[in-house]
Amino acid sequence: MTPGCLWLVPNTLDLGAAEIDIREVLPDGVLRRAASLAHWVAEDARTTRAFLKRVSAVIPLAQAIQATDIRELPRPRKGSPDTIERAAWRELLQPALEGRDIGLISEAGLPAVADPGAALVAAAHESGIPVRPLAGASALLLALAASGLNGQSFAFVGYLPQEPGARLERIRELESLSRRLRQTQLMIETPYRNAALLAALLAGLSESTRLSVACGLTLAQEFTRTDAVAAWRRREQAFPERCPAVFGLLAA
């Protein structure tokens, strides 16, 4: 039997914020594909149903939301974050193994990029299931493009440690790596900790290092500011509450 496809369906970037018009962020082709899918894998079934409701306001769904099969990604056990049985992934992919298409969706942005869905994509490749990514907003790439930092060589390093001493050590490590490789270092934080991360970056980085903050990308309150750390220290910028942000640095 010819397997179905695993479609990587992008989401909007307004999770936890005021909803924007979905057509401002996602192409019509993505909305049509999302409307056609009867099987989904997601981090949270509730937010996926909310996404499908937004899609249905633009394009009628092929089946009612209540009839749509939405399965959630397995959560790693405490103490064994990398241990998830192969059978769990195969169960999620079973519709595709039986010839039906599946949509994989993230809570925000592109699935499998800074997202636990990457493990499902790997399992699809192992099972011979075609993987088809769809175009949509990626906060990381939008932030990099708007930063003016080095877009030819960059790395995403995820979250920094919360403990102040370990976080400072990591900041200085990333600055040294950036200086040696001329490489932009990108990172994120839980929105309510954004101000704390900015303060730690301004305290730990050299004055000449360029720091970029892209906040609320695609949202009404969107801004991106890139400046030397010395200039940031003279004029810090406040974050809107609960606003997702991407931080980037490039050492001189």
Contact yes or no for 230/1 (Cβ under 8 A): no
What are the strands, taking DSSP E only, across 80-129? 102-105
* Domain boundary assignment for the chain: 6-133, 139-250
CATH number of 6-133: 3.40.1010.10
What pTM does this model have? 0.89
Tens digit of pLDDT per residue, the chain (252 long)?
799 999 999 999 988 778 889 999 999 999 999 999 999 999 999 999 999 999 999 999 999 999 999 999 987 655 444 556 778 888 999 999 999 999 999 999 999 998 889 999 999 999 999 999 999 999 999 999 999 999 999 999 999 999 999 999 999 999 999 999 999 999 999 988 999 999 999 999 999 999 999 999 999 889 999 999 999 999 877 777 778 999 999 999
Summarize pLDDT for 84-117 with one digit per residue, the tens.
677 888 899 999 999 999 999 999 999 999 888 9
Helix axes 164-181, 194-204, angle to 10 degrees: 60
The enclosing H or E element of 41 equals: strand 39-42
CATH class in words for 139-250: alpha beta
User: How much is the pLDDT for 88?
Assistant: 87
